[in-house]
Amino acid sequence: MRTKFSSELMALTDELAHMARLTHEASERAAAALAGSDLTAAYEVFALEEKVEIEHAKCEDRSVILLALEAPVARDLRHVITAMQIADDLLAVSRALSRVADAVVRRYPNPAAPADILDRLAEMSSAVTHLIDTSVSVIAAHSPPRDRALVPRDENVERLRVLLVELASAEDWPHGSAMAIDIALLAHQYERAADHCVRVGRLIRFFHTGIPLYAQTEA
């Protein structure tokens, strides 16, 4: 029975890692869609979101079965609970990226934003892709570092969000209110994705150390 339970926990971790890899691919396709007004890449983001939703449902089902039938205790219980929360965070990242793709589709064949704004959004996109890549690594790691943040917050994401909102809300903004709203929303979606990646790192650290999320520092 214990061997079967351990294999189920391993399968749960594998499903999370697969979700994370799909989300990373979605971030790359969203970046391509945004940078080049690429309709094909945008629809690939939507398709990847559907795959992430399928994997999320599989993780949820496996977790519920483990909780209901196996009555895990201590570390095993922590494993299942954190897996469920990480699956929710990865799904949230995927959905945020789909909102980015939505903006590309809605504006097509025109760019989703003015050229100078696209450059800054590309910086945010690159930072988020890196955070997702880091999330993939820490989910798959057997013994990640226990004394520091596993997915460190990227302060550049917050700086760029503030900058983009300020630009879009400036009195001399020349691109209209609809574009201003779109820019603010795009910046928000990327910041939201980044926040969920940081939370994934904290959840993984909680699993390995038992340190609650509220007690973890950025160091």
111 and 186 Cβ atoms separated by less than 8 Å: no
What tens digit of pLDDT does each residue of 7-63 get? 888 899 999 999 999 999 999 999 999 999 999 999 999 999 999 999 999 999 999
What tens digit of pLDDT does each residue of 72-84 get? 777 888 899 999 9
The yes-or-no verdict on residue 197 having pLDDT over 90 is: yes
The yes-or-no verdict on residue 120 having pLDDT over 80 is: yes
Q: Which fold has domain 1-215?
A: Methane Monooxygenase Hydroxylase; Chain G, domain 1 (1.20.58)
The yes-or-no verdict on residue 1 having pLDDT over 60 is: no
* pLDDT of amino acid 7: 86
* pLDDT of amino acid 219: 59
* pLDDT of amino acid 68: 82
Cα–Cα distance for residue pair 215/219, rounded to 1 Å: 12
Cα–Cα distance for residue pair 103/96, rounded to 1 Å: 11
Q: Parse the chain into domains and list their residue ranges.
A: 1-215
* pLDDT of amino acid 2: 59
Cα–Cα distance for residue pair 74/36, rounded to 1 Å: 49
Cα–Cα distance for residue pair 130/7, rounded to 1 Å: 30
Cα–Cα distance for residue pair 178/161, rounded to 1 Å: 17
33 and 41 Cβ atoms separated by less than 8 Å: yes
